[in-house]
Amino acid sequence: MTGIAVLATEDTLKYFGHDPWWVVGLKTLLIFVVLVLLTLFNIWWERRVVARMQHRIGPNVNGPFGLLQSLADGVKLALKEDIIPTAADRAVFILAPIISTTTAFVTFAVIPFGPVVNFFGVETPLQLTDMPVAVLFVMAIASIGIYGIVLGGWSSGSTYSLLGGLRSSAQMISYEVAMGLALVAVFLYAGSMSTSEIVAAQGDLWFGLILAPSFVIYVIAMVGETNRAPFDLPEAEGELVGGFHTEYSSLKFALFFLAEYVNMATVSALATTLFLGGWHAPFWIDHVWPGANEGYWPVLWFFGKLLFFIFFFIWLRGTLPRLRYDQFMAFGWKRLIPVSLVWIVAVATIRAISLEGGIDRSYLLIGIGVLAVLFLVLFFVGERGEEETTAPDGAATTGGFPVPPMPAGGAVRGAARPLTFESRTPVTEPAASTRGAGEEI
């Protein structure tokens, strides 16, 4: 398998680096336009789907089916008054949203949309570029995007923005670790880190089926990575106002908003590429229709799978409540990462045995299936025995998180008697309050 992977890598990578400059420029422009239009569509689609879930109608006035509502909102947002706080670091305040948006677009450079086609008379793959470490390139660029969030929160000169930036960056860094570990099994099985080679290795069987634990871990991590519900903890209105972008307005806020939706498309495209066969026809339609994976048809399969993940994001937002921050971080560090490490060891062991010819392919698939079921069971089994205990100060604790005691009877705020019209100063009872006897409120 390793030899086949190396040969396939050479065959796929030989098409890159030889395109004329106008082909490269046209591909770049098309990727930019597609991502912007996809963002406008995803905003409209999210509002419509969530509205249906809540028995509402959603946007349906501007344009056919309300499709132009997102464009109208974007133009309105960009033309609003741009406010920069007095305490803000002006240069960094302006640079932060640019960093987040730029990195979100750059990661699509190595995503394959289809096979080699005739592109205005030039034989070229439907992919801007590729490299032997393309997936690592995506992870590195995504890590740079965290700087935009950190700098945006810090440069605002606001405590709320700073706390939101710290929470968001800690969340993204934590779940990037789990995301990276989930991809190691894909690298071991494909024998390459090139996105085009990984897609080619899934011609017979998708990695999302034979590497199910990695797929589940990646899906959970990508939701946490993009700060989407139920993991949108930096935007907890009761705690941190709007999170790291509290002080942003107008076009700069629109850039952060654009980066969020482009990142949703990026992690969805990466999941499609690494686990669902990329641009290959779903349900093995190519066995019935030989031309399903030729020409520009694969673009349709690719975007169909991508929109499936986008719908998954929307479904989660309309269904699940927001998690508590300590539960969310503990889940990432105590569950996702340990399970990922054990799964990597299991996959590496099975892979080594199969390459040495010590195990048949059918037994290999059965073993991987059994391990997948086992790890899924271990993954979803929660900690048992977390009964409510009482702290020394009388506060109840559940799972180590302190819960303040409920008020009992009249022992709150001095057990004060109701005010009367004759005297507006409540009279306190000495033994019923933590305040001093006769102390006025």
* Tens digit of each residue's pLDDT (9 = 90 or more) over 173-197: 888 888 989 999 899 888 888 999 9
Which residue's structure tokens are 């569950």? 335
How far is it, in rounded angstroms, from Cα 293 to Cα 300? 10
Question: Cis bond leading into 230, ω under 30°?
Answer: yes
Across the range 369-383, mean pLDDT stands at 65
- Please, which residues have CB within 8 angstroms of residue 148's CB and are 6 or more apart in sequence? 96, 97, 98, 99, 100, 101, 103, 256, 259
Token pair in block for residue 153:
């929160």
Helices in 54-158 by DSSP H: which ranges? 69-78, 90-106, 134-155
Which residue's structure tokens are 């309300």? 66
How far is it, in rounded angstroms, from Cα 61 to Cα 55? 17
Q: Is the pLDDT assigned to residue 316 strictly greater than 80?
A: yes
Which residue's structure tokens are 């229709």? 289
Binning pLDDT at 50, 70 and 90, where does residue 303 land?
very high
What are the residues facing 390 on neighbouring strands? Answer: 396
Q: Is the pLDDT assigned to residue 433 strictly greater than 60?
A: no
How far is it, in rounded angstroms, from Cα 259 to Cα 98? 9
pTM, whole model, 2 decimals?
A: 0.78
Reported residue count of the chain is 441
Q: What φ, ψ does residue 30 adopt, rounded to 5°?
A: -65, -40
In sign, the C-alpha dihedral spanning 41, 43, 48, 52 is: positive
How far is it, in rounded angstroms, from Cα 363 to Cα 354? 10
